[in-house]
Structure 1
Amino acid sequence: MNPGQSISSCFRKYATFSGRASRSEFWWFFVFQIGTMVLAALIHEIAYYLVSLALLLPAVTVSARRLHDIGKSGWWMLISAVPVLGLIFIAWAAKKGDEGVNTYGPAPVPPVAQVAPGAQ
């Protein structure tokens, strides 16, 4: 997914906890969220709080769907509330998702078909 597709996907599924989210969807939304919050903080403190509140639910849902992609329950995102253990959540978010179908549904990105060298 490109950045625009990832961000729009998160807003379309802003309250959808079911299903799976690809790494690109999660990380592009994360970059968008941080950038938007920094810009809002530069404008005014109230703008920062409003943007943070507006992006909270989409961030939580994409995090839950990202964990679903690696076969974990969305409740595992609570581990990020513990300072050092939050690094585990980052590692899981960066991990490649399960191929094919898992307990939470089909893969968000179909596997890329590999072409044998020399074959057209």
Structure 2
Amino acid sequence: MNWYLKVLENYANFSGRARRKEYWMFTLFHILILLALALTGVATESSVFIIICYLYILITLIPTLAVAVRRLHDIGKSGWFYLLRMIPLVGPILMLVWFCTDSEHGKNQWGDNPKGFGNDREISMIGRE
């Protein structure tokens, strides 16, 4: 749940990098919340829960896009590549492969590796503590 809240705290942060774990844990909780709202709406036959579900989607649209862009940054791709998702069949498969790809080691143009592996800054600090 902390990963989900971390993404919500970085509400509109499209810069930087996001680890696989951050992206997938956010996605897991996001889908679970959507399922709970939708199933509750269907079970109670209440349109209120369906409206709440749509409001939840609208509220979390920007954080969802932001974490996806940061995930693309983590593998060394521009956030504009997320637009490839609109290509039927090929786009979603390509996004799935990229979102499952390991982080680019070391620093890239969007910042240090969030895992800390391969960061020159970490290596240069050895022995200076």
Shorter-chain TM-score tier: 0.7 to 0.9
1:55 counterpart (60, 65, 79): 60
The 1-side partners of 2:113 and 2:53 are apart by 34
Which residue does 1:15 correspond to in 2?
Answer: 12
1:105 counterpart (98, 101, 111): 111
The 1-side partners of 2:69 and 2:11 are apart by 11
Contact 1:40 1:51 in 2 (8 A): no
Aligned residues: 109
Which residue does 1:37 correspond to in 2?
Answer: 34
Cα deviation code 1:5-28 (max 9, x no counterpart): 311210111100000000000000
Moved runs in structure 1, 4+ residues, more than 4 A?
none
Question: 2:113 corresponds to which letter in structure 1?
Answer: A
Unpaired segments of 5 or more residues in structure 1?
113-120
Identity over aligned pairs, percent: 37
CA RMSD of aligned residues (A): 1.3
The 1-side partners of 2:75 and 2:115 are apart by 13
1:27 counterpart (14, 24, 28): 24
What is the TM-score with the length of structure 1 in the denominator?
A: 0.85
What is the TM-score with the length of structure 2 in the denominator?
A: 0.80
Which residue does 2:2 correspond to in 1?
Answer: 5
The 2-side partners of 1:41 and 1:83 are apart by 25
